[in-house]
């Protein structure tokens, strides 16, 4: 029995009970469809250049593709005042000592350009200082928490990122807060005037996204309506020569689960429990992670190298719990479609309904 059949039967039952006003398909649904029981999804990453970030809902068996360059800043919609930069394009932010945006210009940016300090690369051993924390961005963002004291909010020089994206002019930004809203000041790095924009929090979202060209833009679905996002983006690895022993770098085929929207995940090895055999009884033995969005990360694929292409790791799969309490097992099947990268696929199956 499919989800639509279940929905139709539910409508009929409620009509008979006299407790349901309408099941007209043209109206907004009153009864929510049950969670998908199983499925196969080919991710619409956009092809070999990975132009899209793709939000996936297992419960709805849906995906939403959004261009990685669609946004520049993401403003936390929760009780605190934190702002993220676009790690999916390799953006980086440098804090200046100034609280006057008109004072900051190319003279301060030039040394950063020359040194490569604000470029996300394997040779930039300071990269971790200027990128959001890859595992949990809001726990340690590149931009400090916005203070109620305006003088404490400094100007940042922002490289919008050119990882899998065209090079764009650097920006200077300063972020304030007033009456529960964000106030963003921004300009090109060489400008002597700036634009000021008010950003209102939306409690239905994890983050409110902003583009320097388009203003506030829709990016991710509402908090409970996505489980993970597949994207190219900023990751991090232990590296002894790097500052703080960690190197931030750009990676294709990352999977971030929705830690701010109530999703949690864990990796399971086939040698422990085969995918085909995993059932509700096995859930008690697992501890799902809800604060490290790299739990899946790049672990589902092998890295490849100069003489070999990356490939799927067939020895593992993942268990994901969504915001509604549904538990799914998820197994990635391919990295490509007809040899083209950026179109991976996976299968999933409901283990326990919430």
Same domain, 268 and 346: yes
Given phi > 0 = left and psi -120 to 50 = alpha, else beta, which region is 201?
A: beta
Residues 124 and 255 in one domain: no
pLDDT at 28: 60
Domain tally, the chain: 3
* pLDDT recorded at residue 30: 57
Rounded CA-CA distance 301/335 in Å is: 8
Which of these three, 217, 246, 265, is where a domain ends? Answer: 217
Instruction: Please check whether residues 85 and 54 belong to one and the same domain.
Output: no
Whether 209 and 338 map to the same domain: the answer is no
Assess whether 169 and 276 both reside in one domain.
Answer: no
Q: For residues 79 and 204, state if they share a domain.
A: yes
- Given 198, 217, 236, which residue is the final one in a domain? 217
Same domain? For 52 and 173 the reply is no
Both structure tokens of 234? 């900023």
Is 123 exposed, middle or buried, given 0-12, 13-18 or 19+ CB atoms closer than 10 A? Answer: exposed
pLDDT reported for residue 27: 59
| Same-domain check for residues 282 and 167 | no
Query: Using CA atoms, how far apart are residues 277 and 30, in angstroms rounded to an integer?
Result: 36
Closest CA to 176 of 282, 251, 101: 101
Q: Residue 282: which residues within 8 A CB-CB, separation 6 or more?
A: 273
pLDDT at residue 3 in the model: 58
Contact 270, 316 (CB under 8 A): yes
**Quick one: 162 and 208 in the same domain?**
yes
How far apart, in whole angstroms, are the C-alpha atoms of residue 131 and residue 36?
37
Q: What is the pLDDT of residue 309?
A: 79
Query: How many residues comprise the chain?
Result: 354
pLDDT of residue 18: 44
Question: How many other CB atoms sit within 10 Å of the CB of residue 218?
Answer: 12
Residues 206 and 282 occupy one common structural domain = no
**Residues 193 and 305 occupy one common structural domain:** no
- C-alpha to C-alpha distance for 32 and 132, rounded to whole angstroms: 36
Sequential pLDDT tens for the chain (354 residues): 455 444 444 444 444 444 434 455 555 655 778 999 999 999 999 999 999 999 999 999 999 999 999 999 999 999 999 999 999 999 999 999 999 999 999 999 999 999 999 999 999 999 999 999 999 999 999 999 999 999 999 999 999 999 988 899 999 999 999 999 999 999 999 999 999 999 999 999 999 999 999 999 999 999 999 999 999 999 999 999 999 999 999 998 999 999 999 999 999 999 999 999 999 999 999 999 999 999 999 999 997 665 677 899 999 999 999 999 999 999 999 998 988 899 999 999 999 999
Residues 299 and 334 grouped into a single domain: yes
**Residue 125: domain span:** 72-217
């Amino acid at each position: 029995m499919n989800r639509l059949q279940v929905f139709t039967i539910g409508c009929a039952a409620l009509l008979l009970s006299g407790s349901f006003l309408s099941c007209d398909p043209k109206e907004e649904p009153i009864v929510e469809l049950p969670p998908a029981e199983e499925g196969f999804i080919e991710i619409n990453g956009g092809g070999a250049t990975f132009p899209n970030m793709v939000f996936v809902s297992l419960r709805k068996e849906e995906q939403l593709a959004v261009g990685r360059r669609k946004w520049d800043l993401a403003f936390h919609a929760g009780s605190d005042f934190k702002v993220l930069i676009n790690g999916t394009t390799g953006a980086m932010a440098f804090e200046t000592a100034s609280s006057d945006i008109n004072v900051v210009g190319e003279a301060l940016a030039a040394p950063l350009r020359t040194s490569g300090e604000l470029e996300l690369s394997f040779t930039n051993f300071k990269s971790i200082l200027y990128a959001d924390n890859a595992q949990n961005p809001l726990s340690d963002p590149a931009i400090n928490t916005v203070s109620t004291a305006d003088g404490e909010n400094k100007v940042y020089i922002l490289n919008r990122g050119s990882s899998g994206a065209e090079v764009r002019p650097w920006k200077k930004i300063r972020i304030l807060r007033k009456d529960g809203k964000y106030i963003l000041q921004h300009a090109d790095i060489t400008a002597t005037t700036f634009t000021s924009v008010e950003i209102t929090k939306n409690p239905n979202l994890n983050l409110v996204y902003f583009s320097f060209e388009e203003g506030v833009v829709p990016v991710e679905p509402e908090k409970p309506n996505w489980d993970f996002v597949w994207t190219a983006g900023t990751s991090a690895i232990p590296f002894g020569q790097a500052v703080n022993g960690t190197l931030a770098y750009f990676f294709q085929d990352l999977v971030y689960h929705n830690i701010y929207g109530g999703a949690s995940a864990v990796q399971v090895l086939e040698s422990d429990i085969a995918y085909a055999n995993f059932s509700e009884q096995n859930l008690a033995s697992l501890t799902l992670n809800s604060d490290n969005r790299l739990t899946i990360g790049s672990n589902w694929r092998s890295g490849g190298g100069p003489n070999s292409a990356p490939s799927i790791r067939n020895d593992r799969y993942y268990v994901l719990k969504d915001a509604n309490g549904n538990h799914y097992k998820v197994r990635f099947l391919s990295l490509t479609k007809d040899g083209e990268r950026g179109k991976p696929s996976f299968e999933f199956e409901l283990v326990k309904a919430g």
